[in-house]
Structure 1
Amino acid sequence: MHGLLSDIAELQQQGFEIVLASSGSVALGLNSLHADIESAGVQEKQAAAACGQPILLNAYKQIALEYGFDIAQVLVTLDDLEERRRFLNTKNTVHTLLEHGVLPIVNENDTVTTEEIRVGDNDRLAAKVAQMIQAQHLIILTSVDGLYDRDPSEPGAQLVETVEDVSEYLAVTSGTSQLGSGGMLTKMQAANMAQNAGCTTLISQGVLDRPVSSVLEGARPHTRCVAKSTPSSSWAIWLTDRLQMAGSLVLKQAAADALEQSENGILCRDVVSLHSTFQKADVLHIYDEQGVERARGLSNLSSDEAALIAQNADRPVKELLGYQTAGRLVNRNNLVLLEDHHLPWEEPENPLRVITP
């Protein structure tokens, strides 16, 4: 902590604005509960986070004060990052802390999250924060020098110094640590999210002396994941770079092929099947009939409403829903077509409803 915070203090004096994503509360809190990570269940981990969080932040605060700056805790949940209004509220809080010279320390609120509703790893959490604040660099400190072209323990493994296309390396990324839930796969996913926002990711080994500035200066080995030269808009980034899939649909092939030219967005009558139960304002993943993910968009309707309209195309929408609407599932201005640089999600299985016979 001394090495990290002294380095941050020097970078702040040089004019850098820094946000730190740090975990450790569960590991610290397990000691208070006299429990171990192998046997701890969800409730024990939540309780451990509650015990460990004040210990972790007190240590950060005392050391930061030695180097002349203060820290603040920003605990977030998946909904704070995926739900638009809460995302913007969190963004405003972080920016206000930075304006006042306070170091925001971001962590997932492990005391209230479960496996089904959590981000799960600091890599993608940090990438979402980097997108949120439009950071220039995302620095991920880990146990190796960076991304290797194969398992680093294998003879002949070579460090990959520059990555343009993250998808080329997904096959060689696997494995997680016992206390952490992220491996090199989540680091590549995080790098892809950062790239889309115009943020360069640097992955390197965590060291005691100048861990951040030495990577920025190129003084030690690392992997650089190069940012897109023309980043997407903040709205498009928020729509496309999701941490969980709220719902999805399969679109008729002809309608999917015409998405780029269409001004109508996605109409309920063009839907082949719906997957998962979703609500109005959820972000949907849109596939064609060949299983290729083509777009992501903000839903105007719930899955029940969309199915009702699609299955009764000859009846007025107002009669079906009790209120007037165009019957459009996704408006064109709330629809983002996926490009090659986006990592696709696997096609969902088991449709909630098959709309067409």
Structure 2
Amino acid sequence: MTAARQDVTDARRIVVKIGSSSLTTASGGLDADRVDALVDVLVRHLGGQPSGPGGAEPGGAGEGKQIVLVSSGAIAAGLAPLGLPRRPSDLARQQAAASVGQGLLLARYTASFARYGRRVGQILLTFDDVSRRAHYRNAYRTLDQLLAMGTVPVVNENDTVATDEIRFGDNDRLAALVAHLVRADLLVLLSDVDGLYDGDPRRPGASRVETVRGPGDLDGIRLGNAGRAGVGTGGMVTKVEAARIATEAGIPVVLTSAGRAADALAGLPTGTHFHPTGRRSAGRLLWLAHASAPRGAVILDEGAVRAVTERGGSLLPAGITAVEGDFTAGEPIELRAESGRPVARGLVNFDAREIPRLIGRSTRELARELGPAYEREVVHRDDLVLLRG
């Protein structure tokens, strides 16, 4: 008998992500049976039994475990009620569908978990909500408190207000970042495919990759596009990228199909098991590195590149040679070497239109001429993350 995956069975705080195609019909409506099947698995893993208004029966195999559910499906759920035959390509109609569908999705989860006396709480996130220090702490406190009170947080991107520039882009990536945010012990990615394959799983000869211990195990593997139902945004590319984000932060990942969720949570050898490759890093910097495209860039001279990448310094105006893009203070920007190579990403302290008159000057000089508000870093080291390569 194959041994259980120890890091899976030992996990106490777990993030489970479910894709749109696993929750909806091909026409776009929510499939109540699929939602109920997922909830049945999650509550059994939590140790609950069907109950009355007093709550689920305590104890059992899931005692002490906590689950955060990252659920796609809001836009897909809103298609049919709005008479849309397929997922729209324009942002405005996507937001309209999300506005209608998000309520339907949460109502379905509320009713399904209520069969076990379990409560759910909705958390809608954008990159802007969590890239700033105070907002990041608030997001963590809210999720932590919900879990402490026995509630299952249901997390989704706030599609109704997110713009192209501040979107996570897909809920696989969002799930990896949420796993880091809540300090999870495990991330489980559920879709319509039962794992990562070394070829198209619909064709003969393709084999499931059971274990990934590092990037080298992915050499030669071609990754597919969006799910078969055509209602989601992700595909195997986004799932493997999410697994990379999580494992680099020290969090193991299991990728499998929604139908095998029970086996995955039990630690059985289903799907693909991604082993951690790194250690946990400063929390919100992971969001900064992976959650959003930068709104612009500043070009650094050689001395500034060394200060930022080798000495852990902040970016000062004296080290900047040029500015690109149109951004405002507090937004993410890219820090580039003069060759164009991105070296870091950070939250900028000035608007793009202010930076040209700061270039190449010391903060002391700027303070004398422009006032004390200019005696500060363009990007503080606490708001800066280095980029790989």
TM-score of the two chains, using structure 1 as the length reference: 0.82
The answer to whether residue 246 in structure 2 is matched with residue 197 in structure 1 is no
**Cα–Cα, structure 1 residues 183 and 155, in superposed 2: closer, same or farther, change >3 Å?**
same
**Cα–Cα, structure 1 residues 327 and 80, in superposed 2: closer, same or farther, change >3 Å?**
closer
**Cα–Cα, structure 1 residues 73 and 280, in superposed 2: closer, same or farther, change >3 Å?**
same
Partner of 2:132: 83
Write the letter of the residue equivalent to 1:7: V
The CA distance in 2 between the partners of 1:179 and 1:75, in whole Å, is 20
The CA distance in 2 between the partners of 1:117 and 1:333, in whole Å, is 21
Structure 1 window deviating more from structure 2 (90-99 vs 309-318): it is: 309-318
Write the letter of the residue equivalent to 1:190: A
Alpha-carbon displacement from aligned partner over 1:298-349 (angstroms, at most 9, x marks no partner) = 3333323332111667993135544353453233444333456xxxxxxxxx
The CA distance in 1 between the partners of 2:283 and 2:351, in whole Å, is 25
Alpha-carbon displacement from aligned partner over 1:134-170 (angstroms, at most 9, x marks no partner) = 1111111112122223333455333222224448559
Indicate if the aligned counterparts of 2:247 and 2:276 stay in contact, CA closer than 8 A: yes
Partner of 2:208: 159
Indicate if the aligned counterparts of 2:285 and 2:385 stay in contact, CA closer than 8 A: yes
Alignment of 1:166-181 (within 5 A): 166=215, 168=218, 172-177=222-227, 178-181=230-233
Indicate if the aligned counterparts of 2:165 and 2:292 stay in contact, CA closer than 8 A: no
Partner of 1:57: 106
Among candidates 222, 237, 258, match of residue 185 of structure 1: 237
Write the letter of the residue equivalent to 1:214: D
Partner of 1:306: 355
Write the letter of the residue equivalent to 1:11: H
**Cα–Cα, structure 1 residues 318 and 170, in superposed 2: closer, same or farther, change >3 Å?**
farther
The DSSP-based 3-state class of the residue aligned with 1:272 is strand
Deviation at 1:123, TM superposition (A): 0.6
Write the letter of the residue equivalent to 2:205: G
Indicate if the aligned counterparts of 2:320 and 2:360 stay in contact, CA closer than 8 A: no
Partner of 2:258: 206
Partner of 2:145: 96
The CA distance in 2 between the partners of 1:330 and 1:52, in whole Å, is 39
The answer to whether residue 46 in structure 2 is matched with residue 12 in structure 1 is yes
Indicate if the aligned counterparts of 1:317 and 1:327 stay in contact, CA closer than 8 A: no
**Cα–Cα, structure 1 residues 151 and 252, in superposed 2: closer, same or farther, change >3 Å?**
farther
Indicate if the aligned counterparts of 2:344 and 2:386 stay in contact, CA closer than 8 A: yes
The DSSP-based 3-state class of the residue aligned with 2:101 is helix
Structure 1 window deviating more from structure 2 (284-293 vs 52-61): it is: 284-293
**Cα–Cα, structure 1 residues 140 and 301, in superposed 2: closer, same or farther, change >3 Å?**
same
**Cα–Cα, structure 1 residues 115 and 259, in superposed 2: closer, same or farther, change >3 Å?**
closer
The CA distance in 2 between the partners of 1:198 and 1:265, in whole Å, is 26
Indicate if the aligned counterparts of 1:149 and 1:169 stay in contact, CA closer than 8 A: no
Q: Unmatched 5+ residue regions in structure 2?
A: 1-34, 48-61
**Cα–Cα, structure 1 residues 320 and 196, in superposed 2: closer, same or farther, change >3 Å?**
farther
Partner of 1:295: 344
Query: After TM superposition, what 4+ stretches of structure 1 lie above 4 angstroms from structure 2?
Result: 38-41, 166-171, 311-315
Indicate if the aligned counterparts of 2:297 and 2:323 stay in contact, CA closer than 8 A: yes
The DSSP-based 3-state class of the residue aligned with 1:286 is strand
Structure 1 window deviating more from structure 2 (172-181 vs 125-134): it is: 172-181
**Cα–Cα, structure 1 residues 96 and 30, in superposed 2: closer, same or farther, change >3 Å?**
same
Partner of 1:135: 184
Indicate if the aligned counterparts of 1:61 and 1:70 stay in contact, CA closer than 8 A: yes
**Cα–Cα, structure 1 residues 124 and 322, in superposed 2: closer, same or farther, change >3 Å?**
same
Write the letter of the residue equivalent to 1:68: G
The CA distance in 2 between the partners of 1:43 and 1:280, in whole Å, is 26
Alpha-carbon displacement from aligned partner over 1:115-140 (angstroms, at most 9, x marks no partner) = 44422311111112111101111111
The CA distance in 2 between the partners of 1:311 and 1:258, in whole Å, is 15
The CA distance in 1 between the partners of 2:110 and 2:240, in whole Å, is 31
CA RMSD of aligned residues (A): 2.9
The answer to whether residue 280 in structure 2 is matched with residue 228 in structure 1 is no
Partner of 1:354: none
Write the letter of the residue equivalent to 1:196: E
Alpha-carbon displacement from aligned partner over 1:6-58 (angstroms, at most 9, x marks no partner) = 22112222121101111222222222122211557433332322322232222
The answer to whether residue 146 in structure 2 is matched with residue 112 in structure 1 is no
Write the letter of the residue equivalent to 2:243: A
Structure 1 window deviating more from structure 2 (229-238 vs 21-30): it is: 229-238
Indicate if the aligned counterparts of 1:76 and 1:106 stay in contact, CA closer than 8 A: yes
Deviation at 1:278, TM superposition (A): 2.7
The DSSP-based 3-state class of the residue aligned with 1:140 is strand
The CA distance in 1 between the partners of 2:125 and 2:68, in whole Å, is 14
**Cα–Cα, structure 1 residues 42 and 236, in superposed 2: closer, same or farther, change >3 Å?**
closer
**Cα–Cα, structure 1 residues 217 and 249, in superposed 2: closer, same or farther, change >3 Å?**
same
The CA distance in 2 between the partners of 1:5 and 1:296, in whole Å, is 39
Deviation at 1:194, TM superposition (A): 1.3
TM-score of the two chains, using structure 2 as the length reference: 0.76
